[in-house]
Amino acid sequence: MYDAQMTDSDTETKPGPDTPGMGRLAPAGADHPPVQRAKVGVLLANLGTPDGTDYWSMRRYLNEFLSARRVIDYSPWLWQPLLQLIILTKRPFSSGEAYRGIWNTEDDESPLLTITKKQTAKVAAAMEAKYGDAVQVEFCMRYGNPSTRETISRMKDEGCERIVFFPLYPQYSATTAGTANDQAFRVLMEMNWQPSIRTVPADYQHPLYIDALAQSVEKAYAGLDHSPDVLVTSYHGLPKRYLIEGDPYHCQCVKTTRLLKERLGWTDDKIIPTFQS
């Protein structure tokens, strides 16, 4: 974590004899734009979620998601007519029905949003305990709300001159962490005063991540009255050509499973990596 360095929010540097070679600090003019006290921001970035399960909420979300070139890399001239005229006339109904089966009706939001809020609150509490109010923790969604653009812009306006941008994907893929980083950089391209952003790499082999997975497996197995023959680790799938073209996702998923096997002290036949599609 960066050390948060504070600056005077109401001053600007003007030439003067009090500080040789540096000028002296004097009050900013009345027409000077307000400047917040400088602090470090931590921004957790997740995939995204629709605002609701109705047709139009689902269509807006799916349109943004399926229009991302990192996700679907076909030529827009070929893909967009198919997406707009066929897929988005039917898919919002089936996807909405699926979301309704898991929807958090109490808070009227998707489970992903609920969980991300809880993660953010815990990270914020840890940062406050260590750094006080010098670190601001927020979250954003690559697709849907709160958007990356809205959140980074607000954090910058609230004084975050340096931001740690943390895509919440243990394994890296251009379709997940890559497009999340892209969106953050696009936001910077629109700013006259850009905060400095540092991205966090994939943690697919970090000992703490592997240990957390192992503890969840051990807890689940302890609650069973028998020992399963095999544990199937399931990851989202990507086209094989993505791997051939250099995306490391498949290899990182396989390594995560291997490290989990080693942490649990299991033999090869007790655990197997699979891909959903």
| Domain that residue 240 falls in | 207-275
Establish if 6 belongs to a structural domain. no
User: Within this chain, do residues 173 and 251 fall inside the same structural domain, yes or no?
Assistant: no
3-state class (DSSP) for residue 167: strand
Q: How much is the pLDDT for 200?
A: 96
Which of these, 227, 270, 6, lies nearest to 135 by C-alpha position?
6
21 is a domain residue: no
Give the Cα separation of 205 and 258 in Å (integer): 10
CATH number at residue 51: 3.40.50.1400
Q: Where would I find the beta strands (DSSP E) of the chain?
A: 11-14, 24-27, 39-49, 135-144, 160-167, 196-199, 231-235, 271-275
Amino acid, res. 191: M
Per the document, the length of the chain is 277
Are 155 and 48 within one domain? yes
240: part of which helix (H) or strand (E)? helix 240-244
d(CA 152, CA 40): 12
Q: Which two tokens stand for residue 131?
A: 């750094």
Does residue 10 form part of some domain? no
Residues 52, 132 within the same domain: yes
Please give the tally of structural domains in the chain: 2
pLDDT tens digits along 132-178 = 999 999 999 999 999 999 999 999 999 999 999 999 999 999 999 99
Instruction: DSSP for 91-108, please give it.
Output: HHHHHHHHHHTT-BTTTT
Q: Degrees (nearest 5) of the Cα angle 13, 3, 43?
A: 100
What are the Cα distances from residue 99, in Å, to 5, 139, 143? 44, 21, 16
Q: Give the number of other Cβ atoms within 10 Å of residue 39's Cβ.
A: 22
pLDDT per residue as tens digits for the range 63-76: 999 999 889 888 99
Domain check: are 229 and 152 in the same one? no
pLDDT in tens, the chain (277 residues): 445 444 444 444 444 444 444 445 556 666 766 666 789 999 999 999 999 999 999 999 999 999 998 898 889 999 999 999 999 999 999 999 999 999 999 999 999 999 999 999 999 999 999 999 999 999 999 999 999 999 999 999 999 999 999 999 999 999 999 999 999 999 999 999 999 999 999 999 999 999 999 999 999 999 999 989 999 999 999 999 999 999 999 999 999 999 999 999 999 999 999 999 8
Torsion on CA atoms 64, 70, 74, 79, rounded to nearest 10:
0
* CB atoms closer than 10 angstroms to residue 62: 19
Q: What is the pTM of this model?
A: 0.83
192 found inside a domain: yes
The answer to whether residue 155 is domain-embedded is yes
* 11 occurs within a structural domain: no
Residue 136 three-state SS:
strand
Q: In what order do the strands lie in the sheet with 196-199?
A: 135-144, 39-49, 160-167, 196-199
Decide if 127 is inside a domain: yes
Which residue has tokens 């890399």? 73
